[in-house]
Structure 1
Amino acid sequence: MSVYIDHVGVTEHAPLELVQSLQYGEGAFETIRVDAKQGIEWCDAHWARWVEGVNYLGIDVESKVKMEDWIHAIEVLAMNLGFTSDWMIARPQGLITSEGDFRWWIQWSEGVKWQHPLHIGRVPTVPLPDEYKPASLKLNMMSYYRSAERLARSQGWDHPVLCTKDGMISESSRANLFWIKGAQIFTPSTKCIPLHGVVRSALIDWIHPQKDFEIVEVEAKFEDLLGADGVFLSNSLQHLVWVDAIEDHVFTKLTLFDDLTDRFKLAIPYTSITTI
């Protein structure tokens, strides 16, 4: 995995001081899909959330780096390293070093599509309350997600389902949750402290004016997932992904989901980059 480090440029590995700062959770990050033909997806939304995350850590980030610097860094990575798949992952990190300095860098790696059948299941891990980690931000406080993933894998599942301490569905460790019942599409409300995913927000905004879909943000129990016609996940890398099974409950893929996916893809905003 190669990286672009603020004023240093492209290098094969991140310096140890930056890695150590990440390990202590003193950073904010984004995970961005960069399409080989069309460019950076949802760049404005990722930038806005990253700025909010770094500001939360006490750094006036926009006095130190601009979105144009992000875009330039991604262009340099693309020109130097190229695309080894149809899309790549750009992962900007902003962190505070042990000396109290602000540094930023972007990792560049190959995009990998999740495989089917996709199997998820409930684990006892609960998401952190807002007072410990605002759900609107992607901060380097991810150990509970990794714990949830280990528990899921121990059961033979690909991804976990996390519920709040009150038993309400919240999210998965790498994606937001949605489920379909008739023509209605449901997702956990922000009261259930899911990560405010970029694609989650974009999908909700896109569905609202549609005449043949309805989006509903709810507080719901795990059993509501099992009673759905279908379930899918969303994140910035995979877009929308059908869930084939939740524990022992198998779902048959709906044509409504395929229609939703095809139409939503047309609404993705791209920021073009120069790669030659």
Structure 2
Amino acid sequence: MRVLVDGRGQDLLEVVDRGLQYGDGLFETIRLRDERPCQWQRHLDRLACGAGRLGIPSPDPKSLAAEIADAAHGLDDGVLKLILTRGRGGRGYRPPDSPQPRRILLTYPLPLDPLGSWEEGVSVRYCRTPASINPALAGIKHLNRLDSVLGSREWSDPTIAEGLMLDPSGGVVGGTRTNLFLWDGRRLLTPPVDRSGIAGTRRALTMDLAAQSGLDCVESRLEPADLSLARGLFLTNAIVGIWPVRELAGHSFDLTRLPWSLLDAVRQAAQTPG
């Protein structure tokens, strides 16, 4: 693992940093290939959107790109975690009037996928932990991810790849670290992210490629009953790309019924640098 803090090689962080004190910041988890970030513009756009909503000055894109090139040097396949905090602050919730944001970059090797997930699909369960509803924070990748932390603690079976989280009224939000798509044989359905969940970069990529191929993709409230009647399900995120769902809470799906031409296109685009 390599760590850069504000462009310098170090692994120390001030204890008064508001990211540590209050989770006051954002992060992006980015696939690296050939020493370059994949789908970089989507990540940059989401980071800028989140920074604007939190009132944190966005980093200069050119400077940030140079730091990422430094951090990713020599890593053909890997993962970059970019953290942007509001920086140091005094005691109390009120943020400083003129924040000095801090940038933290961490690189990791690409994790192995022991589940045979692309060819064979993955097994998924439901989480008991509900996903929080907060329209002010929905969609952005803020640092307060305790819903996903608690949800991920609920199982230890290595054959289960992911857990789906519901909102307090029973609507499906998505996985602890993925976005969900339902295929009904004619169109794709995916939960909205205006009240809960994350606007994933691969979610946006999937919706764009579906539109380009003439497939309808609709944001729609989904419940577990809808998922059990689906022709197919798949999950997306920046690192795995796409996971077809083989089984959900004991219900099996026929993977051959998924729109594989779209899934193939998303998988290829998701791991293309640039």
Q: TM-score range by the shorter chain?
A: 0.7 to 0.9
Q: Do the aligned partners of 1:25 and 1:139 also contact (CA within 8 Å) in 2?
A: yes
Deviations 1:192-226 (CA, angstroms, capped at 9, x unpaired): 62311111112112212323x33222112111111
- Separation in 1, partners of 2:18, 2:192: 34
1:152/1:158 contact within 8 Å kept: no
1:244/1:252 contact within 8 Å kept: yes
Is 1:143 the counterpart of 2:146? The answer is yes
Trace 1:1-276 onto structure 2 (pairs within 5 A): 1-7=1-7, 9-11=8-10, 13-15=11-13, 17=15, 21-22=19-20, 24-36=22-34, 39-61=36-58, 65-79=59-73, 82-83=74-75, 86-95=76-85, 96-99=87-90, 101-116=100-115, 118-131=122-135, 134-153=137-156, 157-190=160-193, 193-211=196-214, 213-254=215-256, 256-268=258-270
Query: Counterpart of 2:44 in 1: which secondary structure?
Result: helix
User: Residue 182 of structure 2 contacts residue 227 of structure 2 at CA under 8 Å; is this kept in 1?
Assistant: yes
Q: How many residues align?
A: 260
Gapped regions of structure 1 (runs ≥ 5): none
What is the TM-score of this pair, normalised by structure 2? 0.84
Q: Which moved more, 1:15-24 or 1:87-96?
A: 15-24
**d(CA) in 1 for partners of 2:20, 2:154:** 23
- How far 1:89 moved relative to its partner? 0.9
Amino acid paired to 1:218: S
- The answer to whether the 8 Å contact 1:170/1:192 transfers is no
Moved more, 23-32 or 110-119: 110-119
Q: Which amino acid aligns with 2:241?
A: H
Gaps of 5+ in 2: 91-95
Identity of aligned residues (%): 21
Residue 17 of structure 1 aligns to a residue whose secondary structure is coil
4+ residue segments displaced more than 6 Å: none
User: 184-193 vs 43-52, which deviates more?
Assistant: 184-193
TM-score by length of 1: 0.83
Q: CA separation in 1, counterparts of 2:158 and 2:170?
A: 20
Using the alignment, how far apart are the partners of 2:12 and 2:256 within structure 1? 44
Task: Please say which of residues 201-210 and 257-266 is displaced more in the overlay.
Answer: 257-266
Distance in 1 of aligned mates of 2:20 and 2:256: 41
Distance 1:113 1:180 in 2: 27
